[in-house]
Amino acid sequence: MSKIRDIDLKPCAFANMHKLRYLNFYVSSFGDANKVHVSEDHEFDFTELRYLSWHGCPMKSLLSSFLPENLVKLDMSNSKIEQLWNGVQHCAKLKEINFGGSSITICPDLSGFPNLKRLYLYNCKYLHEISSSIQDLDKLDFLQLSLCSNLEILPEMPCNLESLLLGNSHKGDAMVCWFLPRIVGCHNLIFLDISYCGITNLPDLDCLSSLTDLYLDGNSFESIPTSIINLSNLERLNIDHCKKLKSLPALQLLKICAFGCTSLEVLQCLPIFKNNALFTYMRFSYSAFNGHLYSEDILYADFGNCCKLDPNISEDIVKDAIRKIQYTREYSVLYSLDDKAAVVDAFICYPGSEIPEWFKFRSNESFINVELPPDWFDYNYAGFVLSVVVAPCLDHQDDEVEYWRIEWNCNLKPKDGDPCVRTGLFYVDINEEQDIRSNHVFVYSCVNISPSELLFCDNEITFQFYIRHDMKQQYKVEKCGVHLIFAQHREEVNGSSRIREDEDVLSLANVHDKCEEEDELIKMFKALCVLNCGMHVYLKEAFLLDSVGYLSVNCLDLDSP
């Protein structure tokens, strides 16, 4: 529609389309003017309609024909609609409503939508009241009220609500006192966004025991209550641009975003990353097609522009993340046959000008040669950790930075054949609000180079790091480093006994000697048992020596006679 002229809909435009189920008046980009015009008295006969989307609808009131009994989704975002419906409208199949960016002043009675699950009312600048009927919507699990700065009447929230977004309301401390009593009964609430609300004193949030994601960006408090540790399910905390925040209490998280916390000096307790949660909450899947693991989450800590934070604290965070990777990389392979949880990667950013000193390979350039130990495969190789120091260029222009990323190339030289180049990028998405002003250290562990690739290459490989080409005049890579990590042999972790290294080798010898006398089915069954026992060494040695690969294990049908 971005390339067509204005359209004037005639009253008969949709005549006889009684079986129409999908209707979408699409605007190609945000802010584009609506090009479809219709008279206020226009009527539509949409008895079978399931999906109706009209971005930027020019009408001032919602037609009753826009709520047919079979409708499942209604999207009238960025519309001119001011008046919705009077009384109760019955639409039992409706599951999602979006009036975001519209001109409505009141969200009316919703009791006629018993199956409503998601309600979007973001950026409704004139909205000042939400009907009390919302508390009876026991299937509503998502409510978006961000940028509703004039909202005054908010009833008690339904008990099954899982996500509540109230950011950018700018109501100050009164805002917390206003909404908190209304969500006390929301025992299923897992996501809460109260960013940029002008909060100077953050209250205890103990009542939100199920909370996993808490967004507090851009507020003005100096500290976070120590009671936050009681939120045992909390995994992700966003406090970007909390410029007055001076310290953080004891935390156990998977992800913390603290970019631009320019007054932050103290972390009360290290480590900040969860331990048991690494095995409990994070999910991953295994792809037999290319042999790589993909995790839905990573250990993530962004302390960009936190210039008062002690660099030693930042390096301790890096060490903690790598230690947990060492503990869990083994599981990411061992449990790939099961739907278990494991953490496999980490991203960390903090102000600094030096690669961590315990990185074995370091360079004062943007490239580095890495020589693998001759016996690297015998020490439970678990992967690479990469680190770079990025510096703003002398002619850096703050207002020109919109987005940039760090990319890397790895040159592998096979023992036989042509050189191979693997590429990747750091998990960093920095926009105009996250413009680094000084040297920063970035650490990343998601390097998609498998042990099988390294086995057939020379022991020396080369990494090259660079900033995306159109941002080279803004930033540069000053230093880089590479660290090899190896899965650890653990005697005891969280009270569970683990096989020691000497027992691993002994078990391997006994099992391998007997493998030649067993048929393939027996060996596969033993392999599955060994997987669950945590004997990674068996996988490395017995599988390779017997030419039995991971694919055979995954594809074997043990139910076959």
Q: How far from 217 is each of 196, 199, 206, 379, CA to CA, in Å? A: 6, 10, 19, 43
CATH code: domain 352-486 is 2.60.120
Q: Are 331 and 340 in contact (CB under 8 A)?
A: yes
Closest alpha carbon to 281 in 212, 347, 228: 212
DSSP 3-state assignment of 521?
A: helix
Tell me the C-alpha to C-alpha distance, in Å, between residue 249 and each of 218, 225, 267, 314: 18, 7, 6, 16
543, containing H or E segment: helix 536-545
Phi then psi for 318, rounded to 5 degrees? Answer: -60, -45
501 contacts: CB under 8 Å, gap ≥ 6? 489
**End-to-end Cα separation, the chain, in angstroms:** 60
Residue 4 CB neighbours (<10 A): 8
3-state secondary structure of 79: coil
Instruction: Write down the pLDDT at residue 489.
Output: 45
Amino acid at 217: D
Three-state DSSP at 135 gives helix
Determine phi and psi for 466, rounding to 5 degrees. -160, 160
> Rounded distance, CA 145 to CA 122, Å?
5
Write down the pLDDT at residue 259: 93
- Looking at residue 496, its pLDDT comes to 29
Residues forming CATH 2.60.120 domain(s) in the chain: 352-486
CA distance 520 to 526: 10
What is the per-residue pLDDT for 310? 87
CA 163 to chain centre: 15
Give how far the C-alpha of residue 129 lies from the chain's centroid of Cα atoms, to the nearest Å. Answer: 32
User: Exposure string (b/e) for 314-332, b if CB count within 10 Å is 16 or more?
Assistant: bbebbebbbebbbbbbbbb
Q: Is 268 helix (H, G, I), strand (E, B) or coil?
A: coil
Place of tokens 């993340």: 321
Question: Can you say whether the dihedral through the CA atoms of 93, 98, 104, 110 is positive or negative?
Answer: positive
Closest CA to 301 of 261, 272, 264, 269: 272
Structure tokens at 331: 């599981």
**Residuewise pLDDT in 10s, the chain (561 residues):** 455 677 777 766 677 777 888 988 876 655 556 677 776 666 667 778 899 888 888 888 877 767 788 889 999 898 888 888 888 888 899 999 999 999 999 998 899 999 999 999 999 999 998 999 999 999 999 999 999 988 888 888 998 999 999 998 767 667 777 778 888 778 899 999 999 988 898 888 888 889 999 999 999 999 999 989 889 899 999 999 999 999 999 888 989 999 999 999 988 777 888 764 344 334 433 332 233 333 445 789 999 999 999 888 888 999 888 888 877 766 655 554 333 344 468 899 999 999 999 898 999 999 999 988 877 776 677 788 999 999 988 765 555 555 568 899 999 887 777 778 888 888 665 555 567 878 999 999 888 787 778 877 887 889 999 887 555 567 889 999 999 887 654 333 332 223 333 333 223 333 333 333 334 443 443 444 344 444 434 444 444 433 333 333 333 333 334
- Identify whether the C-beta of residue 204 lies closer than 8 Å to the C-beta of residue 225: yes
Q: Is the Cα dihedral 348, 349, 350, 354 positive or negative?
A: positive
Going by the DSSP 8-state scheme, the letter that residue 430 receives in this structure is B
